[in-house]
Amino acid sequence: MIKSISEMEISHDEQPIRLFKSDFLEFFTHVHPVVVLIIWLPVAAYFLLAEVARMDTGSSWLYLPVAFLLGIFVWTLTEYLMHRFVFHYHPQSPAAQKIFFMFHGVHHAQPQCKTRLVMPPAASIPMAAIFIIGFYLVVGLLLGLPHWVGPLISGFTVGYVAYDMIHYATHHLPMHGRVMKFLKRYHMLHHFKTPDMRYGVSSPLWDLVFKTDPD
Q: Has residue 170 been placed in a domain?
A: no
Of 58, 37, 55, the C-alpha closest to 150 is: 55
Q: What is the mean pLDDT of residues 99-123?
A: 84
Q: Has residue 213 been placed in a domain?
A: no
Number of domains forming the structure of the chain: 1
Q: Has residue 181 been placed in a domain?
A: no
Answer whether 0.85 is exceeded by the pTM: yes
Alpha-carbon gap, residue 186 to 126, rounded angstroms = 29
Q: Has residue 160 been placed in a domain?
A: yes
Q: Which domain holds residue 106?
A: 31-164
Residues making up the chain, counted from first to last: 215
Per-residue pLDDT tens over the stretch 13-23: 668 888 888 88
Q: Has residue 152 been placed in a domain?
A: yes
Per-residue pLDDT tens over the stretch 196-206: 999 999 999 99
Report angle CA 55, 59, 62 to the nearest 5 degrees. 90
Alpha-carbon gap, residue 191 to 6, rounded angstroms = 9
Q: Has residue 8 been placed in a domain?
A: no
Burial class of residue 79 in the structure, from the number of CB atoms within 10 Å of its CB (0-12 exposed, 13-18 middle, 19+ buried): buried
pLDDT of the residue at 11? 60
Alpha-carbon gap, residue 151 to 45, rounded angstroms = 9
Per-residue pLDDT tens over the stretch 93-102: 888 778 878 7
Q: Has residue 44 been placed in a domain?
A: yes
Residue 18 phi/psi, 5-degree rounding, is -85, 135
Q: Has residue 63 been placed in a domain?
A: yes
